Amino acid sequence: IIYRACGFIPVMLYFTSRNYRVMSKSHSILLVEDDADDRYIMHLAFTELNFIEQVKVFNSGEDILKYLQNLPHSDLYPSLVVLDYNMPGMNGGEVLMRMKMDDGLRDIPVAMYSTGMRSLEARLKGMGATYCFEKGQQITEVVTLALRLKNIVENEELMEE
């Protein structure tokens, strides 16, 4: 394990027959949710799936953009950003637009979720959203969504290896 001077982010190197890869301890999913109750329920869902250590939660679009722009290297980018569409201040659509306009952030897959997603889905996918999901109202629906997000990240990681 190598500790980086800026931020003490543990980084593990392992060697293959031809080259080496950098494996970081960054979060797989960055979730943006302004509602405290919804954040708590998503936390419970990811805990139920034993995946909570892979999820970092933000309260606002401004916070996640600041976090992403301050990461020292693109290897620390998440596998998926999950944005609530309906947020005060900068809504999920605005965060999506800013990410897709930023050369450094545009390739990060983004999943949007909201109540009433069906009416927004075509527009958001046209703006660059990779996935769109309806926000669950029952805990079982939220766990199902968390499982889908976990599977997206795990399948993506398998494809990259």
Q: What is the mean pLDDT of residues 58-82?
A: 94
Strands 20-24 and 29-32: unpaired
DSSP 54: G
Q: What is the pLDDT of residue 156?
A: 64
How many Cα atoms sit within 13 Å of 160 on the Cβ side?
A: 11
Residue with tokens 């980084």: 11
Say what the pTM is. Answer: 0.81
Helix, strand, coil: what percent of the chain each, to 5? 45, 20, 35
Mean pLDDT of the chain: 84
Q: Give the whole-angstrom CA distance, residue 133 versus residue 38.
A: 15
Q: Which of 73-77, 106-110, 128-132 shows the lowest mean pLDDT across its residues? A: 73-77
Contacts for 72 with CB less than 8 Å, ≥ 6 apart:
4, 6, 7, 9
